[in-house]
Structure 1
Amino acid sequence: MGWKTLDDMDLQGKTVLTRVDINVPMEEGAVTDDTRIRRLIPTLKDLLDRGARPVLLAHFGRPKGKVVAEMSLQPLVPTLEAAFGVPVVFVADCRGPAAEAAVAALQPGQILLLENTRFHPGEEANDAQLAREMAALGDLYCNDAFSAAHRAHASTEALARLLPACAGRLMEAELKALEAALATPERPVTAVVGGAKVSSKLDLLGNLVAKVDRLVIGGGMANTFLAAQGIDVGKSLCEHDMTDTARDIMARAEAAGCTILLPTDIVVAREFKAGAASETVAADACPADAMILDAGPATVDAIAEALATTRTLIWNGPLGAFEIAPFDIATNKAAQKAAEFTAAGQLISVAGGGDTVAALNQAGAADAFTYISTAGGAFLEWMEGKDLPGVAALNQ
């Protein structure tokens, strides 16, 4: 752990440029899910309680370096005030005279929200001049946006090198959870990886087989691994052009002593819709006119058995078409078993990326997991073993 936290910083009277991720879903100008905002409360409370003046830097959407009115951060002010319980002042730039004046006028107990950093082309270009202009606004830099840490942008990377820098509470929790899961885990370690395509998770699978003891593969990508073993998967989602790659991953796993768990039984249907007629068959008995849409009960039992002797679990992606019943059963039951073992103190469970949070919430299992990451791309790139620019910049 080469990065500093808020505990290492003298905050009294300091203006703290705080990079946050408030890129939340909105409809008709109103926030529909404030999860990312609420997860910032510990950092903002700490800053205010210790006499700092927080100045928030954030992006929203993909304005591509232009001012796009619909992507302004101003509509978020009421939600931020409700979450943080203090006045939030907004200024329509993140650099220059207007921002400087707003910082100078900021009163103790207030938070200043700067306009969308991506309104400037220099943000995504990691422009040194834009970073210098932002740095001129504050005394310290705090990055609490792990979900944007895989981007080398001016507000996540260049800026961190210009001021005394630290991780915020959310970033700190995320990094500690991921280090515990992959860098120095309690063994045995099991990874559950699901989702549609092997091609989108090649780096992830390649990194995991060298680091975990068991790898559970589910979802559409499991069909590609079954096909790689010569099994007919009927009309299932399957990347037949990736079967050589799947065989290579299985060979690398065997060489590394990593056991791969694939479905031994499957739930199949002729149509993909809620309540569609379905049946459970052996993994090698998929009818030619059917699709594999979930793992079967014997597979779930095998996963539960593996989890019973697991100390650290990393979960990314569903085991089936969890969005519609009855093809959510394997994901729900396996997630509930992981939650049960976690609650009993037998398991450290870390999950994140893509549909994972939605799947675990649907299963009613999310609250029991040790840590749930809301950082899609950054969580995946960390699991892939890649350096994250926003984290590396804190390791000065």
Structure 2
Amino acid sequence: MDKKTIKDIDVVGKKVLVRVDFNVPRDKATGEITNDNRIVQALPTIKYLIDNGAKAVVLFSHLGKVKTEEDKAKNNLAVVAPALSKLLGKEVEFVDATRGPVLEEAIAKADNGHVILVQNTRYEAGESKNDPELGKYWASLGDVFVEDAFGSVHRAHASTAGIPAHLPSAAGFLVEKEIAYIGKAVNDPVRPLVAILGGAKVSDKIGVIENLLKVADKVIVGGGMCYTFAKAMGHSIGNSLCEDDKVEMAKKFIEEGKGKLILPIDSICSDKFGTDGDIKECGEDVPDGYLGLDIGPKSIELFKKELEGAKTVIWNGPMGVFELEPFAKGTIAVCEALANLPECNTIIGGGDSAAAVMQLGYADKVSHISTGGGASLEYMEGKVLPGIAAIDDK
């Protein structure tokens, strides 16, 4: 990695500003955190700064989307402070402000690795616009900046790209790990490299498919997006999800990916989106009045065969509607196949595929689960990520 990491900078006696990703899922009714994985992933960087003499560790994060006063109330970052305190085994001071004397005073009086969590960065309208004044102001509160929010590095926001424009900066352990795994998998993989892409829309993954068809040895496609490809091949798809404006693009990928692009050969279909419909196996054609909701048993066997011998696998996107038990078999089968690949570097690219791996109990059977869905996708596309570009070079 040609960017400075946390071990390349002196933090003794410094006020260290850290961009973390505490955009945690919460229960809609109670507001309680339902999965603390993103907080857990930030602990190594926070603990290192405390243990290595930082004067203050000041944490910046967003939580949800904030466009209205109702959003503000719903996405108050105060919910994270007690959970972080418990995991860290140390008091975390929550400051209910994003600028002004209360925040400035809290940071000024902090000492001996005191941890401060700043209110939701998106309370500031200039955050997502990368307002230069806001980035400069936040930078004025500290001495050094550490980028450890991989889930946000694909966004040029004030807290990801604005602050490091004014301070010495480095990558935290999480960002360093993400770059090491995903960067190596795309740029210098141990081959054969197999990419598995799922999810609903082709449009979300056009750049990824394009790039991976160049760099991967095989690209397996499942999920709702496969029906756009099925239509491009002349199959009937019933009421299945399809992006008609992307059919020509799918034809182009099929032509370019001959011998490399692997598509499903059957589906689990239903006449309803739910568990109470007429559920049946369909071949390559989906009957009228039905929609495909998972890959079928023949596709599962095909995908398993194509994965044999793989030494690097990147997976982004489930094979079907895995949240509903009748349509989870394809995603479970991919989890099992990856768990049983000998000496293979298996990388789960965040988002729904990460949620599936964790929900289905395979988290400890894969090499790496990315904390950033959008960021990992853009990294796989070969894009420059603003939050990483902003980190100082070695």
Class of the TM-score when normalised by the shorter of the 2 chains: over 0.9
Residue in 1 that maps onto 2:180: 176
Instruction: Confirm or deny: 8 A CA contact 2:317 2:352 kept in the other structure.
Output: yes
Distance 1:15 1:159 in 2: 13
Distance in structure 2 (CA, Å) of the matches to 1:94 and 1:3: 28
SS of the residue 1:332 aligns to: helix
Structure 2 counterpart of 1:20: 20
Does the 8 A contact of 1:275 with 1:325 survive in 2?
Answer: no
Alignment partners' CA distance in 1, 2:390 and 2:374: 18
Contact 1:65–1:119 (CA under 8 A) maintained in structure 2: no
- Does 2:130 correspond to 1:129? no
Which residue type is aligned with residue 78 of structure 1? P
Superposition map of 1:262-301 within 5 A: 262-274=263-275, 276-284=277-285, 286-301=286-301
Aligned to 1:143: 147
70-79 or 193-202, which deviates more: 70-79
Taking the aligned partners of 1:225 and 1:304, their CA distance within structure 2 comes to 20
Q: How far does the alpha carbon of each residue in 1:56-102 deviate from its partner, in whole angstroms, 9 at most, with x for none?
A: 11122222497934433223221110111111112232333322211
Matches of residues 1-396 of structure 1 in structure 2 within 5 Å? 1-27=1-27, 28-52=30-54, 53-64=56-67, 68-254=72-258, 259-274=260-275, 276-284=277-285, 286-341=286-341, 344-345=342-343, 347-396=344-393
Aligned pairs, how many?
Answer: 389
1:163-204 deviations in Å (ceiling 9; x for gaps): 111111111111111112101111111111111121222222
Please report how far the alpha carbon of residue 301 of structure 1 lies from its aligned counterpart in structure 2 after TM superposition. Answer: 1.4
Gaps of 5+ in 2: none
SS in 1 for 2:85: helix
Contact 2:153/2:160 (8 A) holds in 1? yes
Could you list the runs of 5+ residues in structure 1 that have no partner in the other structure? none
Alpha-carbon distance between aligned partners in 2 of 1:339 and 1:275, rounded to the nearest angstrom:
31
Identity %: 41
Cα pair 1:149 1:156 within 8 Å, conserved = yes
Instruction: Give the drift of 1:107.
Output: 2.9
Question: Distance between the aligned counterparts of 2:325 and 2:182, measured in 1?
Answer: 32
Aligned partners of 2:183 and 2:379 also within 8 Å: no
CA deviations over 1:30-74 (Å, ceiling 9, x no partner): 322211111111111111111112111112222249793443322
CA contact (8 A) 1:336 1:364 kept: no
What is the alpha-carbon root mean square deviation over aligned residues? 1.9
Counterpart of 1:54, as a letter, is V
| TM-score normalised over the length of structure 1 | 0.93
Per-residue deviation, 1:29: 4.3
Normalised by the length of structure 2, the TM-score is: 0.93
Any conservation in 2 of the 1:19–1:143 contact (CA below 8 Å)?
yes
Q: Provide the rounded CA distance (Å) in 2 between the counterparts of 1:221 and 1:246.
A: 10
